[in-house]
Structure 1
């Protein structure tokens, strides 16, 4: 029953071992880029860092030396300076700055891996997707969990009937944003830059993972939000229910305050699968599956899904395949999340 999980948990079910590598320009050198993305690309099988884009002269000097790469500012990047040095762009700047930087990449004929959400508003995200489509370049929304081998095996097990018929899903991601050295002026707390708060930043993880595992789209949502103190501009906490076809429900929550936690659970007629540390980057996850009278527990089964994400994207570029988390995937989540906000404001269920 559990062969799907036990047969090399870290194996890449998408890898056809193409020749070549993709040269990346990393646009934005904040904490996620420095601590997670750049080391991931540097260790990737199909990617390499050749260009860094940042407004900080100190960061340009330090990172250019560390990664033996060319470092330029945003104006030079938008003008196409050194565009011959990279094949693809990873955009990891505040949400409202995604569109101009992705549009610049598309104008220069470069493929794009863009952080989620695709932009601060649905309308801007639609323009972002259109820019890539018009330019004929590959666009992938940076949903790293879709490339995590454990999550991919969970999807295969669920879709193969391992839990029977899915009846509900639940998930939470609590990220105490101000506990990591950020102050109240951090961009995640500014609606004009972020677009939304806990829902846009971390609530999207259980939502997107549920859509990925079920391979279907929601039909309606209900939501509520709460905020206080320095979070007055965005939602500090959110809880929302998502209705899927055939009576399947998802109950999800996210918060910028509270003890850090992330879980994802799939409940079926014949069993349950529970993933702990589900959405934390580069974490050894614990998966417990109870089905058919048997129990499987995988501890320390995670991998560096950030590296997997870059290798998967580069693989798509090298092979010409369309990524699963493409631009439309990113737009679908924005439509759902905007409906959650509308429901929270009106107190009414919103159909999709």
Structure 2
């Protein structure tokens, strides 16, 4: 049963403990998520540590320098190579269309890169980002934090071991009321050029990538419907529902949705020939996951399962950099995600099915 697998929920199955010195990370782009989630996670972790912050806002620079004892730079100083002896790697957390130049700068300075997802706003720019890191021989990780979440990793093990039989269907949703917080309609997420897309690019990537990761499969075709009834979302998708085929004729199908308005929700469900796994609070940072497993042996619901996957994400990256270990969510993985998102946009525009 799943309770045996979940008993190792806190286990870091990738951790060899062979990191002698923490990997010093420069955070480029210090918006709300980086300030309140990512940088504190680095500070809490065992293998990564915040060393430099890069922001265009002097108040943000001063606040972070005071709170974390880091060196604070503006973007011009970062591009010019200031303080390169103070960091080993760069975390790119700027709006999507700005990932490429900041990752190229990191690569030019010989620094490893962990880049927020999606890797870029277009497929061409994502290709160029991966190529820049390859050419400079620096490590690149796509920041798919759910791939380091201990509960998600245990679900993957359970599914891989045949816990629900042959996977047949998956369903996932991420609804995030983007106008519900302090950010108004002028935010970058509603600017198609900066974001690449709306709800699809910002939160739809979570159920898509997490289902891919759990199953170990890549998409083969997509179809989609987009709705944006609110004029605030005239440049990007407000709601998107997309169907993703995996593994060809004998594979499985994922039905995913993402919304920029509505009651907040994050969920993932996997349906197999012999069972079902459902996860609530599936993609919220640091949340306690509720996992329900149904098999012929019975039904098990585990509440309060979880650990801080963002701490694990940066420690995973730092461990890989320090030990030259494989990075599973690498640039190639990130490219699959961007190409799939672009195909979903193409399918929604054409009203047809798009093969990958």
What corresponds to 2:259 in structure 1? Answer: 255
Q: Deviation at 1:3? A: 5.1
1:191-340 aligned at under 5 Å gives the runs 191-227=192-228, 228-245=230-247, 246-340=250-344
- 1:235-254: per-residue Cα shift (whole Å, max 9, x none)? 01100101111231100000
Which residue of structure 1 aligns with residue 15 of structure 2? 15
What whole-Å deviation, never above 9, does each CA across 1:296-324 have from its counterpart, x for those lacking one?
Answer: 22111111111110000001001102210
Taking the TM superposition and a 5 Å limit, the aligned residue runs for 1:1-352 are 1-2=1-2, 4-18=4-18, 19-227=20-228, 228-245=230-247, 246-352=250-356
In structure 1, the gaps of 5 or more residues are: none
SS in 1 for 2:179: helix
Q: How many positions carry a matched residue from both structures?
A: 352
Provide the rounded CA distance (Å) in 2 between the counterparts of 1:323 and 1:220.
26
Q: Is the 8 A contact 1:313 1:323 kept in 2?
A: yes
**1:293 to partner: Cα distance:** 2.4
Query: Which has the higher mean CA deviation after the structures are superposed, 5-14 or 249-258?
Result: 5-14
Distance 1:6 1:186 in 2: 39
CA distance in 2, matches of 1:317, 1:338: 30
- Alpha-carbon shift at residue 9 of structure 1 (Å): 1.3
Could you say what secondary structure the match of 1:323 adopts? coil
Q: State the alpha-carbon separation in 1 of the partners of residues 130 and 267 from structure 2.
A: 30
Q: Deviations over 1:216-251 (max 9, x none)?
A: 111111101011310000001100101111231100
Shift of 1:4: 4.4
Confirm or deny: 8 A CA contact 1:4 1:156 kept in the other structure.
no
Give secondary structure in 2 for the equivalent of 1:45. Answer: coil
Of 146-155 and 9-18, the range deviating more from structure 2: 9-18
5+ long unaligned stretches in structure 2: none
Deviation string for 1:150-175 (max 9, x for gaps)? 00000010011000011100000000
- Matched residue SS, 1:14: coil
Q: Is the 8 A contact 1:4 1:153 kept in 2?
A: no
Runs of 4+ in 1 over 3 A off after TM superposition: none
- Aligned residues of 1:174 and 1:202 also touching (Cα < 8 A): yes
Which SS does the other structure have where 2:77 is aligned? helix
CA distance in 2, matches of 1:68, 1:143: 27
Q: Is the 8 A contact 1:53 1:73 kept in 2?
A: yes
The C-alpha deviation readout for 1:238-278, integer Å capped at 9, x for no partner, is 00101111231100000000000010000001100000010
SS in 2 for 1:295: strand
Contact 2:170–2:270 (8 Å) recurs in 1? yes
Equivalent pair of 1:138/1:322 in contact (CA under 8 Å): no
TM-score by length of 2: 0.97
The SS at the match of 1:140 is strand
CA contact under 8 A between 1:148 and 1:303: conserved in structure 2? yes
Any idea what the Cα deviations from partners look like across 1:118-175, whole Å, max 9, x if unmatched?
1111100100000000000000000000000000000010011000011100000000
Q: Check conservation: 2:6, 2:154, Cα contact below 8 A.
A: no
